[in-house]
Amino acid sequence: MTAMPRNIVAPTVENLTRAGELIREGRLVAFPTETVYGLGADATNDRAVAEIFAAKERPRFNPLIVHCPDREAAAGVVVWDDRAERLADRFWPGPLTLVLPRRPDCPISLLVSAGLDTVAVRVPAHALALALLAAAERPIAAPSANRAGEVSPTTARHVHESLGERPAMILDGGPCRIGIESTVLDLSRPDAALLRPGGVPHEEVEAVIGPLAKTGSGVEARGEGPRSPGQLTSHYAPRLPLRLNVRAPRPGEALLAFGRPTPSGVTMGTGMNLSPSGDVTEAAANLFAMLRALDRPPHTGIAVMPIPETGLGEAINDRLRRAAGPRRLADGAATR
């Protein structure tokens, strides 16, 4: 264990008070949520929001999620509707992000929306995130606290590995409970659409508001443009090549296993198991930390066993497919 970096702090009352001041001063504070760590800034401050994009080296066309202390605060910045009300009843606080039209009097920085006329809002289910929102006394824009294109952080140390001293403070809340990002739902049009599978399985959303439109096909085919700009960029990419649905790793590959038993004749070696009992929820919580741990020499690649598409398996497989696919930039150029 190396020494604790200076900007990682315990979530004491004093540090939370200081974190709130830092947000009001326009500085960056990384904080835990139930999904992944966020890189937070005052969502109403253009300069502070610009700092997020700079620190992450995030493309300016990729909008940010606004974290709110409660439903009333969220409904105050967007055009709220009945679907949002029912979803908030069922899932907030929790890992569901709702994309809704900006209100005419919306105080949120236009940079947060990255040129769109919508804002993504969520109420996180984490005591420290809610304490920070209370201390800051304003909504907090926060993407995952990693450099653009990297795997999302699920511990304070992961944040420091990605962003170093760029956050003025990293509130250490231990590992994130869910471990995979929130589900992003577009409610800005009559047909609700799933933009990103995440912590709430899409079936649970459909049980509340009915069938969801599929994105990536219908919407773009209708010439309306992508509904979630973030989905165009490569995400969640480890440095080593990743192979999916693998039964037996090749020499040099680290095995990322799921379930029991590991294939006959295969020793785990330096590999890891997402969930020996075959539980997709446990696997989601372990996914990013294990990808980070295996993404280094002497391994030459990471071989991932099949993971069922049920429950959080949908979000896990979405992230793994992105991690295994070719990198796609804004202009479509492949970088590997």
Site of interaction with ligand TXA (CB under 6 A): 33, 35-36, 38, 62-65, 95, 97, 99, 113, 116, 118-120, 142-144, 181-182, 184, 195-196, 227-231
Residue 187 contact among Mg ion, ligand TXA, none, beta carbon within 5 to 8 Å by kind: none
User: Token pair for residue 142?
Assistant: 């926060």
Q: How far is the CB of 81 from ligand TXA (least distance, A)?
A: 15
State which residue, 65 or 88, has the beta carbon closest to Mg ion.
65
Q: How far is the CB of 70 from ligand TXA (least distance, A)?
A: 16
126-139: buried (b, 16+ CB within 10 Å) or exposed (e) per residue?
bebbbbbbebbebb
State which residue, 144 or 215, has the beta carbon closest to Mg ion.
144
Distance, CA of 135 to CA of 13 (rounded, Å): 10
State which residue, 83 or 319, has the beta carbon closest to Mg ion.
319
Q: Are 286 and 302 in contact (CB under 8 A)?
A: no
Distance, CA of 253 to CA of 303 (rounded, Å): 6
Q: Are 197 and 189 in contact (CB under 8 A)?
A: no
Residue 172 contact among ligand TXA, Mg ion, none, beta carbon within 5 to 8 Å by kind: none
Cis check for the bond before 306: say yes or no (omega within 30 of 0).
Answer: no
Q: How far is the CB of 117 from ligand TXA (least distance, A)?
A: 8
Q: How far is the CB of 252 from ligand TXA (least distance, A)?
A: 31
Q: Are 100 and 186 in contact (CB under 8 A)?
A: no
* Minimal CB distance residue for Mg ion: 144
Residue 35 contact among ligand TXA, Mg ion, none, beta carbon within 5 to 8 Å by kind: ligand TXA
